[in-house]
Amino acid sequence: MTGYKLDLSSSPIEVYPNLLVKYDGATPQISINFNAVYNKKFWGGVTYRTTDILDINLGIELFNGIKIGYAYGLNFSKLIKTNTGSHEVMLGYCFNLDIGPAAKKYRSVRFL
């Protein structure tokens, strides 16, 4: 899994491309994701998984780190005959960690 944050200079838009490669010993699967965040409040994006699905997502940060989002997945595998798509609703919370000087030394919460 890899990803990157692209800050567009003098723009309120941040772009987050991501790539995930999975392999279970039989079938490799690649997911390519592209999300954009506007004004650090609204986001939307698209995910394509090589074996079976196209996802479209959008969301908003309401207040104090509380986020809500929605995604629709369109299936391209053999399941398309019986499944016209999936709906997902997300509710999340992001903690505002103020860890003082350690934030300058470590770049991951894993090493706090």
C-alpha to C-alpha distance for 96 and 90, rounded to whole angstroms: 19
pLDDT in tens, 6-57: 878 888 999 999 999 998 888 888 999 999 999 889 999 999 988 788 999 9
Q: How many domains does the chain fold into?
A: 1
C-alpha to C-alpha distance for 53 and 76, rounded to whole angstroms: 6
Residues forming a β-bridge with 94: none
- Expressed as residue numbers, the domain containing 76 is 2-111
C-alpha to C-alpha distance for 77 and 52, rounded to whole angstroms: 5
SS (H, E, C) 5-42: CEECCCCCEEEEEEEEEEECCCCEEEEEEEEEEECCCE
When comparing pLDDT for 105 and 34, which is higher? 34
> How much is the pTM?
0.69
